[in-house]
Amino acid sequence: MRIRHPSPNCGPRRDGLRPELVVIHYTEMPDAEAALERLCAPEAQVSAHYLIGADGRVWRLVEEDARAWHAGAGEWCGRGDVNSRSIGIELDNDGRSPFAAPQMRALEGLLPGILERWRIAPSGVIAHSDLAPERKVDPGPRFDWRRLALRGLAVWPFSPGEAALPLDATLDRIGYPRVAPDLRLAAFRLRFRPGATGPEDATDRALAAAVAHATEAPPA
Protein backbone atom coordinates (compact mmCIF):
# COMPACT_ATOMS: atom_id res chain seq x y z
CA MET A 1 0.00 0.00 0.00
CA ARG A 2 1.33 3.45 -0.95
CA ILE A 3 0.18 6.44 1.04
CA ARG A 4 0.56 9.98 -0.24
CA HIS A 5 1.82 12.23 2.57
CA PRO A 6 3.41 15.35 1.04
CA SER A 7 6.44 16.90 2.74
CA PRO A 8 7.12 20.63 2.33
CA ASN A 9 10.86 19.93 2.45
CA CYS A 10 11.62 19.85 -1.26
CA GLY A 11 12.21 22.03 -4.29
CA PRO A 12 13.03 21.92 -8.00
CA ARG A 13 15.99 19.90 -9.22
CA ARG A 14 18.86 22.21 -10.14
CA ASP A 15 20.49 22.85 -13.51
CA GLY A 16 18.16 20.52 -15.38
CA LEU A 17 19.44 17.48 -13.50
CA ARG A 18 17.33 14.33 -13.31
CA PRO A 19 17.51 11.20 -11.17
CA GLU A 20 20.41 8.89 -11.98
CA LEU A 21 20.84 7.41 -8.50
CA VAL A 22 18.66 5.87 -5.80
CA VAL A 23 20.00 6.42 -2.28
CA ILE A 24 18.99 3.99 0.49
CA HIS A 25 18.85 5.29 4.07
CA TYR A 26 17.68 4.13 7.48
CA THR A 27 15.73 6.45 9.75
CA GLU A 28 17.36 5.54 13.11
CA MET A 29 14.16 6.64 14.85
CA PRO A 30 11.73 4.85 17.24
CA ASP A 31 9.16 4.02 14.55
CA ALA A 32 7.85 5.00 11.12
CA GLU A 33 5.42 7.53 12.54
CA ALA A 34 8.21 9.43 14.28
CA ALA A 35 10.24 9.39 11.08
CA LEU A 36 7.22 10.57 9.08
CA GLU A 37 6.73 13.50 11.42
CA ARG A 38 10.36 14.56 11.13
CA LEU A 39 10.52 14.14 7.36
CA CYS A 40 7.51 16.44 7.03
CA ALA A 41 8.49 19.05 9.65
CA PRO A 42 9.61 22.32 8.00
CA GLU A 43 12.05 23.10 10.79
CA ALA A 44 13.84 19.75 10.27
CA GLN A 45 14.76 20.65 6.67
CA VAL A 46 15.03 16.98 5.73
CA SER A 47 12.89 14.70 3.57
CA ALA A 48 12.95 11.78 1.17
CA HIS A 49 10.86 10.72 -1.76
CA TYR A 50 9.68 7.58 0.02
CA LEU A 51 9.51 6.16 3.53
CA ILE A 52 8.98 2.41 3.97
CA GLY A 53 7.75 1.14 7.33
CA ALA A 54 8.85 -2.11 8.91
CA ASP A 55 5.35 -3.45 8.20
CA GLY A 56 5.67 -2.72 4.48
CA ARG A 57 3.65 0.49 4.31
CA VAL A 58 5.06 2.94 1.76
CA TRP A 59 4.61 6.70 2.11
CA ARG A 60 5.24 8.96 -0.87
CA LEU A 61 6.51 12.23 0.55
CA VAL A 62 8.03 14.05 -2.43
CA GLU A 63 7.21 13.66 -6.11
CA GLU A 64 9.99 11.95 -8.01
CA ASP A 65 10.60 14.86 -10.35
CA ALA A 66 11.27 17.16 -7.36
CA ARG A 67 14.42 17.52 -5.28
CA ALA A 68 14.07 15.98 -1.81
CA TRP A 69 16.53 16.85 0.97
CA HIS A 70 17.97 13.49 1.94
CA ALA A 71 21.59 13.11 0.83
CA GLY A 72 23.32 16.20 2.22
CA ALA A 73 26.97 16.85 1.48
CA GLY A 74 28.68 14.16 -0.55
CA GLU A 75 29.32 12.97 -4.08
CA TRP A 76 29.27 9.93 -6.32
CA CYS A 77 31.34 9.36 -9.45
CA GLY A 78 32.97 12.75 -8.90
CA ARG A 79 29.72 14.70 -8.99
CA GLY A 80 28.05 16.58 -6.15
CA ASP A 81 24.51 17.87 -5.49
CA VAL A 82 23.34 14.30 -5.07
CA ASN A 83 19.89 15.56 -4.04
CA SER A 84 19.35 16.88 -7.57
CA ARG A 85 20.53 13.60 -9.10
CA SER A 86 18.75 11.05 -6.95
CA ILE A 87 15.63 9.48 -5.48
CA GLY A 88 15.86 9.04 -1.69
CA ILE A 89 14.28 6.09 0.13
CA GLU A 90 14.16 6.00 3.93
CA LEU A 91 13.69 2.64 5.68
CA ASP A 92 12.17 2.49 9.15
CA ASN A 93 15.04 0.85 11.04
CA ASP A 94 16.99 1.68 14.20
CA GLY A 95 20.38 0.97 12.63
CA ARG A 96 20.96 -2.19 14.68
CA SER A 97 18.11 -4.54 13.81
CA PRO A 98 17.60 -6.71 10.73
CA PHE A 99 15.38 -5.18 8.08
CA ALA A 100 11.90 -6.68 8.29
CA ALA A 101 10.70 -9.04 5.56
CA PRO A 102 7.60 -6.97 4.67
CA GLN A 103 9.83 -3.90 4.37
CA MET A 104 12.26 -5.63 2.02
CA ARG A 105 9.40 -6.93 -0.11
CA ALA A 106 7.97 -3.41 -0.32
CA LEU A 107 11.36 -2.03 -1.35
CA GLU A 108 11.68 -4.72 -4.01
CA GLY A 109 8.25 -3.74 -5.26
CA LEU A 110 9.10 -0.03 -5.37
CA LEU A 111 12.55 -0.05 -6.96
CA PRO A 112 11.80 -1.59 -10.39
CA GLY A 113 9.38 1.18 -11.30
CA ILE A 114 11.83 3.89 -10.25
CA LEU A 115 14.68 2.34 -12.21
CA GLU A 116 12.51 1.93 -15.31
CA ARG A 117 10.95 5.41 -15.18
CA TRP A 118 14.31 7.16 -14.86
CA ARG A 119 16.46 4.61 -16.72
CA ILE A 120 18.71 4.08 -13.72
CA ALA A 121 21.07 1.10 -13.83
CA PRO A 122 21.31 -1.26 -10.83
CA SER A 123 24.76 0.26 -10.14
CA GLY A 124 22.95 3.53 -9.44
CA VAL A 125 21.30 2.10 -6.32
CA ILE A 126 23.71 3.10 -3.55
CA ALA A 127 23.98 3.54 0.21
CA HIS A 128 24.00 6.89 1.97
CA SER A 129 27.35 5.75 3.40
CA ASP A 130 28.70 5.28 -0.13
CA LEU A 131 28.33 8.94 -1.09
CA ALA A 132 29.17 10.41 2.32
CA PRO A 133 31.73 8.10 3.99
CA GLU A 134 32.96 10.88 6.27
CA ARG A 135 29.51 11.37 7.81
CA LYS A 136 27.16 8.44 7.30
CA VAL A 137 26.89 4.69 7.89
CA ASP A 138 23.33 4.00 6.75
CA PRO A 139 21.72 1.70 5.79
CA GLY A 140 24.42 -0.16 7.69
CA PRO A 141 25.78 -3.72 7.86
CA ARG A 142 22.40 -5.41 8.39
CA PHE A 143 21.00 -4.31 5.04
CA ASP A 144 20.87 -7.14 2.48
CA TRP A 145 22.47 -5.72 -0.67
CA ARG A 146 23.05 -9.20 -2.06
CA ARG A 147 19.31 -9.87 -1.98
CA LEU A 148 18.66 -6.74 -4.05
CA ALA A 149 21.39 -7.69 -6.50
CA LEU A 150 19.91 -11.15 -7.03
CA ARG A 151 16.77 -9.36 -8.21
CA GLY A 152 18.70 -7.04 -10.52
CA LEU A 153 18.17 -4.05 -8.24
CA ALA A 154 21.77 -3.37 -7.15
CA VAL A 155 25.28 -4.70 -7.78
CA TRP A 156 27.16 -7.35 -5.82
CA PRO A 157 30.56 -9.09 -6.20
CA PHE A 158 29.18 -12.53 -7.01
CA SER A 159 32.39 -13.79 -8.66
CA PRO A 160 35.45 -12.09 -7.17
CA GLY A 161 38.56 -12.49 -9.24
CA GLU A 162 42.17 -11.43 -9.04
CA ALA A 163 42.45 -7.65 -8.86
CA ALA A 164 44.63 -6.00 -11.48
CA LEU A 165 44.53 -2.51 -9.93
CA PRO A 166 45.28 -1.13 -6.46
CA LEU A 167 42.16 -0.80 -4.31
CA ASP A 168 42.22 3.00 -4.42
CA ALA A 169 42.04 3.04 -8.22
CA THR A 170 39.22 0.50 -8.26
CA LEU A 171 37.18 2.50 -5.74
CA ASP A 172 37.58 5.47 -8.11
CA ARG A 173 36.11 3.35 -10.91
CA ILE A 174 33.15 2.34 -8.75
CA GLY A 175 32.42 5.95 -7.79
CA TYR A 176 33.52 6.40 -4.18
CA PRO A 177 34.44 9.97 -3.13
CA ARG A 178 38.10 10.89 -2.86
CA VAL A 179 38.30 11.00 0.94
CA ALA A 180 40.87 9.53 3.33
CA PRO A 181 41.78 5.95 2.30
CA ASP A 182 40.66 4.47 5.61
CA LEU A 183 37.21 6.05 5.25
CA ARG A 184 36.85 4.81 1.68
CA LEU A 185 37.82 1.30 2.76
CA ALA A 186 35.38 1.42 5.69
CA ALA A 187 32.52 2.54 3.42
CA PHE A 188 33.27 -0.17 0.88
CA ARG A 189 33.47 -2.87 3.56
CA LEU A 190 30.30 -1.66 5.26
CA ARG A 191 28.39 -2.49 2.11
CA PHE A 192 30.27 -5.40 0.57
CA ARG A 193 32.26 -6.98 3.43
CA PRO A 194 30.60 -6.03 6.75
CA GLY A 195 32.58 -6.95 9.83
CA ALA A 196 35.98 -6.89 8.14
CA THR A 197 38.72 -5.00 9.98
CA GLY A 198 42.38 -4.14 9.58
CA PRO A 199 44.35 -2.88 6.58
CA GLU A 200 43.11 -3.53 3.06
CA ASP A 201 43.91 -7.00 1.80
CA ALA A 202 43.61 -9.20 -1.27
CA THR A 203 39.97 -10.00 -0.50
CA ASP A 204 39.08 -6.30 -0.55
CA ARG A 205 40.83 -5.86 -3.88
CA ALA A 206 39.15 -8.89 -5.43
CA LEU A 207 35.70 -7.85 -4.22
CA ALA A 208 36.20 -4.28 -5.44
CA ALA A 209 37.31 -5.53 -8.86
CA ALA A 210 34.13 -7.60 -9.13
CA VAL A 211 31.97 -4.63 -8.10
CA ALA A 212 33.71 -2.39 -10.64
CA HIS A 213 33.09 -4.97 -13.36
CA ALA A 214 29.41 -5.24 -12.41
CA THR A 215 29.15 -1.45 -12.32
CA GLU A 216 30.63 -1.03 -15.78
CA ALA A 217 28.87 -4.00 -17.42
CA PRO A 218 26.26 -3.09 -20.07
CA PRO A 219 22.61 -3.82 -19.20
CA ALA A 220 21.54 -7.40 -19.80
Dihedral angle computed from the Cα positions of residues 132, 194, 180 and 76, in that order, rounded to the nearest 10 degrees: -40
Q: How many residues does the chain have?
A: 220
Active site residue 116: no
Q: Which of 90, 116, 134, 216 is the catalytic position?
A: 90
- Write out the H or E segment, with its range, that includes residue 169: helix 167-174
E runs forming strands in 123-204: 125-127
- Write out the H or E segment, with its range, that includes residue 25: strand 21-26
Which one, of 78, 70, 63, lies nearest residue 38 by Cα? 70
DSSP classification of residue 52: E
With 0-12 CB in 10 A as exposed, 13-18 as middle and 19+ as buried, what is 88?
Answer: buried
Q: What are phi and psi of 30, to 5 degrees?
A: -60, -40
**Euclidean distance between CA atoms 74 and 179, whole angstroms:** 10
Q: Decide: 132 and 74 in contact? Cβ < 8 Å.
A: yes
Active site residues: 90
